[in-house]
Each structure stands twice: as structure tokens, then as C-alpha cells.
Amino acid sequence: MTEATITITITTTATLGAEAQDDLLTRGFARRDLARIAAVFGVGALAASVGRPAFASGGVPDPAPTAKVRIGANECWTGPLAPGQKAAAAMIAMGNRYSPHDERSDFIKAVMSVEGVPFDHVAPWPGSSDPLCRAVVTYCSPTKGLVTADPTFELAGRTAAWLGAPVKAVPLTAEYTHDVKAMLAANPDAGLYYICTPNNPTGTITPLADIEWLIANKPAGSMVLIDEAYTHFAGVPVASSLAVKHPDVIVMRTFSKLFGMAGLRMGYVITNPANLTKMMRYDGGMQSGALPVTSLACATASLTAAPLIAARRAEMQSARGLTLDHLKARGVSVFPTNANMFMIDWKTRAAKDMQAAFRKQSVEIGRSWPIWPTVSRVTVGSSAEMKAFCTALDKVIA
């Protein structure tokens, strides 16, 4: 170990704080792991000196977004709702203050009114990727693994693997929902069970009854993390109440999807206050407590705009319906979906080749997952974008 490396390690682990270090060491991590774990959150000098984990890409699409039609990253086709834009614009003039009018509390109160949860169960965050990583670090270890679905959003699994925690990926059911009984059987003593509903990439919903079964039957001390990033597109019953009823449940939301705020980085977590304290200790609560006031104001105004949320959901459903009808008329195999994405099975063609073919038409569709090499994920964009997609499809499969 070089002198520079020693300095980086000391600086970073000191920044973690004694409580966080003691917790990690007690759960089976080696002292040499502490600097790596700090890097997940960009703590101290380490991130700038020796790099971040492979999954910490900063949200930059690959390839660069140069296509005329961008329906590959599950972004919304348009920007924030009008009340959110107005609130954010008004806040710019007060950007000289860290907290002009206690915007963080105003946001939490808006969540309370919509979700029916206590104030102390809510914490805003810049999107949902950071708290997802934190949950893995907080509740997984070399002896307490992670259980996910396959396919699903990979960040939890990548984080656990990078940390050296065991990962079990369980195939979805025949209906493309999480197989909660198989997930429990895969690791009856896991630290964290991750459920994404609607699931990314399939857009399918795991019934709340299945999730409640997992909560009731999992081992004591383990956590169930419910990622509802796409729930506003589905308009189905949500899991918020489970996070209040059960101290071992975490619910995550993001404004990057229906609310059109991917670049503004806003999300929130609902869980027991003790869990929030554990998740925040790696950086002293800075990620949750130091959000841009423009993003907070935009999210607060948007969250309570129920009629506009419903209208945007209906607009997506209309564009999705027209697209699925076209695909079925062309004999293309499409999976069922309840969100702003759908999966196409190209059967005899590799998904990566189809992505390249659409790119030549200046249409950027989504990627594939290893378990399904011939299946592509496509984001539902505006009606105009989906018409362009259908036109490109006719050329690609002609």
C-alpha cells in the first residue's frame, strides 16, 4: 500500500464516522472494505482519487443521446408538470438561501398528505439510486445477502456484488411478477429482499398480497425494499402503508419518471425513522438534507397535482395502446405491461442487433437483459415519438 493510498483510506474512513465504521465491521466487512463502501456515496477524497464503483455512472446514457426519438431510458417524454415548473422558477430568485422557507419540510408534508404516512417516516433524496445503494450497504454484508428478481433493475444486485455480498437472482413467474416464495427459498436468511413493482424492465405489477406474504414469512431482522419508481404510470394500490405498519419495510419513489424530473434529481423514501437514521449515517445526512430548493419546490407542487398526474398517465396509456396494437398487427411478440415500457421478443434476432438497427433510423430503444438476449425494452414516449417508432419498426422488420 502506497503512502497516497494510506492517506486516502484514512481520510475516507474518518469521514464515514465511528458509528458507521463500527456497524460495518460488526456485520462482517473488513477494515480494508471501508474505503470502498465510502466510495459508493462519494465520501471523502476517495471518489476523486481512485474512482467510483462500476455502477456509479452518474445516469449518463450509453450511447450519448443523439437520436431524434429517445425511447430507451424510461424517461418521461416531456418536462415537469406546469405547477412544478412554476414553483421551481419562482424559487430561483431565492437560491441565495440554503432554505428560504423550509422547503424540505414542505415537501415531506406534501408526501404525508398524498401517502397518509407520518412526517418522521419520510426522507427526500436526489432520485432513488442513492437510497437503493444505501439500503444494500445498510442491510447486506458478506454473510447477509441480497435477493432480487431476474430480470429486474440491476443496481441493487450490482451494488451487492461489488460489496462482496451474496446475490440470488430469481426468475419471474409465468405472469412476469416477482416469485416471492422462490425468492425466500433462494436465501431464507438474506439481509434484503428487493421488489421492483411495476418491474423494470417488464412493467408488470407484483400484487401487494404477495409482498405482504414475503414480509410475514421472511427471517426476522431482514428488510423488504419495495421500489415503486413507475407506480404513478400504473395507478394501482401502493405499498406506503406497509412501510408504516412494518418496521422492516422500505418504500422508494422517484420523480424521474411520470413527473418528468430526471434531470432535477428528486425522490423519497418511506420507512421507519430508525431505518432512515441508519441509511443516512454514511454521509451525515447530506444527500437527504441538502437538496436543491428548486427541485424540492418542483416536486412539492407536482406531487399534489392529482388531475394532471391522471391526465399524463392517460396520455401515456393512449400512446402505449396505439403502439401495442401496431406491434400485434405486425405479428411482433410483446409482453403484457402496466407501465411506461414494454418488452418485445424478437425471437430469432439478438436484442443488441435490433437496437443497432433502430439507431440507424435515429430511434434509440432500450437495452436487453442477459436472461432474455432476444428481448428489448422500449420506453413509451409521446404519441409522435411512438408513431416514429412504428414507422422505424416497419423498416427494420421489412
Stated length of the chain: 398
Cβ distance 377 to 366 under 8 Å? Answer: yes
Cβ distance 192 to 163 under 8 Å? Answer: no
- In this predicted structure, what is the pLDDT of residue 65? 65
Considering all CA atoms of the chain, what is the largest pairwise distance in Å, rounded to the nearest integer? 66
The residues facing 341 across adjacent strands are 379
Collect all residues with Cβ–Cβ distance below 8 Å to 368 and sequence separation of at least 6.
351, 352, 355, 374, 375, 376, 377
Q: What is the pLDDT of residues 169-205, one digit of tens each?
A: 999 999 999 999 999 999 999 999 999 999 999 999 9
DSSP 219: P
3-class SS shares of the chain: helix, strand, coil, % to 5: 45, 15, 40
pTM of the model: 0.91
Write out the chain's pLDDT in tens, 398 residues.
333 333 333 344 446 778 888 888 888 888 878 877 777 665 433 333 333 444 444 445 555 567 899 999 999 999 999 999 999 999 999 999 999 999 999 999 999 999 999 999 999 999 999 999 999 999 999 999 999 999 999 999 999 998 899 999 999 999 999 999 999 999 999 999 999 999 999 999 999 999 999 999 999 999 999 999 999 999 999 999 999 999 999 999 999 999 999 999 999 999 999 999 999 988 888 888 889 999 999 999 999 999 999 999 999 999 999 999 999 999 999 999 999 999 999 999 999 999 999 999 999 999 999 999 999 999 999 999 999 999 999 999 98
Give the CA distances from residue 74 to residues 62, 95, 383, in Å, rounded to whole numbers and listed in that order: 13, 30, 15
DSSP 273-313: HHHHHHHHTTTTTHHHHS--HHHHHHHHHHHT-HHHHHHHH
- Amino acid present at 284: G
